[in-house]
Amino acid sequence: MKQSVAIVLGLAAMPLASLAGDETGAWNPKAAAAYLDQRAEWWVTWPTAARDHGTFCVSCHTALPYALGRPALRDALGDQGPSITEQKLINNIVKRVQIWDEALPFYNDEKNGVPKTTESRGTESVLNALILSSYDARDSKFSTDTRKALDNMWSLQLKTGELRGAFPWLNFQNEPWEADDSQFWGATLAAIAAGNSPSRYRSEPEVKANLDLLAEYLRREMQHQSLLNRVVLLWAAAGVSGILQPAERSAIVNELFAKQQADGGWRTASIVIGTWKRRDSTPFAPGSDGYGTGLVSLALEKAGVRGDEPHLKNALAWLARNQDKTGKWQSTSLYKDRDPSSDAGRFMSDAATAYSVLALTGRK
């Protein structure tokens, strides 16, 4: 299945949703929306997610992907604006941005150990900025709340030391979002957030200096990263110039092509950091899964790979035929063997479903 990526980068993509439907049978946007809404509604009302001032934690596995993926279903559903649950999430983030100086961190040193207060603030600042900037970019606006969220993010950027340019990031020894290598992933999300903002904002001297420092960090550290982290780097580089050179971008894309499974999908465990093992020592699930395939397909689109390029075409076909009857795309925990019907057992599927929707719709 190898093919030089040079001939497919930088060209306009085909209409991805119609391609998937025409080639493999239609996937079900309504079912995907129902699954995502149900899972997000559970999260925002789950007592364990509750935080101070009547707010709730924004999770990397359920809330963040929901905020990024759910808006992409509006056209298919005929929605005129955010769903009720989306609005709850947006209101929650806006509230925490507005009371940033008095809001307590999601996790703290006293209860969770040093340096969880610092890590938590850095992580939340990036997630807030990414979500609000994504909604603004979709609506071609730049709100004061989004600017404040970005200001909060930049204020926590590390300016000196070996990690200069990055942000403090939660580490609970849990791949793929809260492990030793997740600080890089968090930095790619910060770059996506910045890339969502208007060029006039990115041109402001202080913002440009911060963004340059972030790009330097990503470039400096990318060779030491798992392929999974470099997948999101492709996404980040699409919105921020200077992160990847064309040859570097092509090298990541070709490495992903080489890891593609025979059925057209990707197996998340094959692109996560090589030394990672589950806490309970159980083997990773075999075969392609929704998280790996959805995220890689989305990143390839962001990198400029055409929808009719065979690797991406096969990946979109895999996604179109592997949505289950509940509306989700299945993916299993990298932490331990979980009951897939449990709430925690569906965390990876929550993210898989949102990124698969983004890939299939070809939308931000």
C-alpha span between 81 and 77 (Å, rounded): 11
Residue-wise pLDDT tens digits, 163-202: 999 999 999 999 999 999 999 999 999 999 999 999 999 9
Q: How far, rounded to the nearest angstrom, does the alpha carbon of residue 291 sit from its chain's CA centroid?
A: 10
Q: Could you tell me the CATH number of the domain that includes residue 218?
A: 1.50.10.20
Residue pair 284/274 in contact by the 8 Å Cβ criterion: no
pLDDT for 4 equals 41
Q: pLDDT tier at 363 (50, 70, 90 boundaries)? A: low
pLDDT for 23 equals 46
Predicted confidence (pLDDT) at residue 12 exceeds the cutoff of 60: no
Residue-wise pLDDT tens digits, 33-60: 999 999 999 999 999 999 999 999 999 9
C-alpha span between 178 and 170 (Å, rounded): 6
**Residue that has been written with the tokens 């609005």 in this structure:** 87
Candidates 3, 28, 19; CA nearest to 315 is 19
Q: How many CB atoms lie within 10 A of CB 212?
A: 13
C-alpha span between 272 and 173 (Å, rounded): 14
56 to each of 89, 116, 137, how far by Cα in Å?
9, 17, 24
Please report how many Cα atoms fall inside a 13 Å half-sphere around the Cα of residue 107, on the Cβ side. 19
Phi, psi of 323 (to 5 degrees): -75, 130
Predicted confidence (pLDDT) at residue 297 exceeds the cutoff of 80: yes
Range of the domain at 263: 5-361
pLDDT for 13 equals 35
The number of folded domains in the chain is 1
Q: How far, rounded to the nearest angstrom, does the alpha carbon of residue 5 sit from its chain's CA centroid?
A: 23
- Which pair of structure tokens corresponds to residue 216? 């330097």
pLDDT for 25 equals 59
